Amino acid sequence: MTKALVTGCAGFIGSHLTQRLLNEGVTVIGVDGFLDNYDVAAKLRNLAEIGNHPAFTFHSTMLQTQRWKEWLDGVDVVYHLAALPGVRNSWGKAFTDYVNHNILATQMLLEACLQLPKPPVVVVSSSSSVYGTMQGTFTDESSPLRPVSPYGVTKEAMEQICQVYVKAYGLPVTMLRYFTVYGPRQRPDMAFHRFFRQMMKGEPVVIYGDGKQSRDFTYVADAVQANLLAARHALPGEIFNVGGDREIKLLDVLNIMSGLLNVTPNLSFQSGPAGDSLRTCADIQLAQNRLGYRPQVPLEEGLRLQFVDMRAQAKG
């Protein structure tokens, strides 16, 4: 692998992946449209972390401008992370934007890859949201897809359009279903970022629901590693869960966080919004067996690293 295209390169996971690729000597073409789903200043900070690396070329534009000939020239692997994220904001009129950025943009990318003499490997970022609220002990990739939010529906449809191109043309596409990724540079709207920010400011910590909902949390460096492994080892059409070291209730996570800050948080419980899953827990055996994926960062260490990063940002 010598040249990669990273869509959504200024985002949370995309910026970490871009850095990792550059550190490994890969030439990276980065595209990011700076969607206003959260403060653009955070994305600019992410780009600043990447820096002016001589092997990095950045394009500040939407994928819908379709400058594919320029972006895909000589590319071996495409890491497609560009999307409109967020379960809670995907209802109502916003659904049109989710369809545009999560489904239509992906189809445009696949079509462009198909026109190349040798299509690149494409690793597409999906979400555990396609499962909805999970039943049983663990959720593997063969579990029923029952999304409970419009966002989850768009991610399921995105996977389906990818499979169509795999089956019809043999396009080398694989998909990764992330289970709640966290760590330095996490989006400001995500729970861990909000909790840390509120505790650092001495504000009430707002919890949607009763806090007993459980999640499987994935440290961002582990998510990045899953991308690299999928590019090397996955077969066309394969789908993999990308999870962390264990399932844990939100209230238990808050106990770990408050210990890091040495504070007693003032918890404010609010009614849970529509579309939130009550439980997610990844069976990652397939990714372990096929890709050699194994999460390396325990939740306690990952939370510490996220807190250190947020504290440094606050002081800066």
Tokens of 51: 């820096």
182, 218 contact by CB (below 8 A): yes
- Alpha carbon distance 2, 76 (integer Å): 7
SS3 27: strand
**In which element (H, E) is residue 7 found?**
strand 3-7
Q: What is the dihedral of CA 227, 21, 44, 82, to 10 degrees?
A: -30
User: Which tokens hold the place of 303?
Assistant: 């939370």
User: Which of the residues 79, 98, 131, 151 is marked catalytic?
Assistant: 151
Question: In the numeric block, which tokens belong to residue 242?
Answer: 């990308």
Q: Which helix (H) or strand (E) holds 306?
A: helix 299-315
Handedness of CA 144, 148, 152, 156 (dihedral sign): positive
Element (H, E) at 32: strand 27-32
Distance CA 220, CA 200 (A): 22
> Is 98 one of the catalytic residues?
no
The whole-angstrom separation of Cα 154 and Cα 86 is 11
Locus of tokens 């996490």: 186
Cα dihedral 284→285→289→292 (10° resolution): 30
Which sequence positions are flagged as catalytic? 151
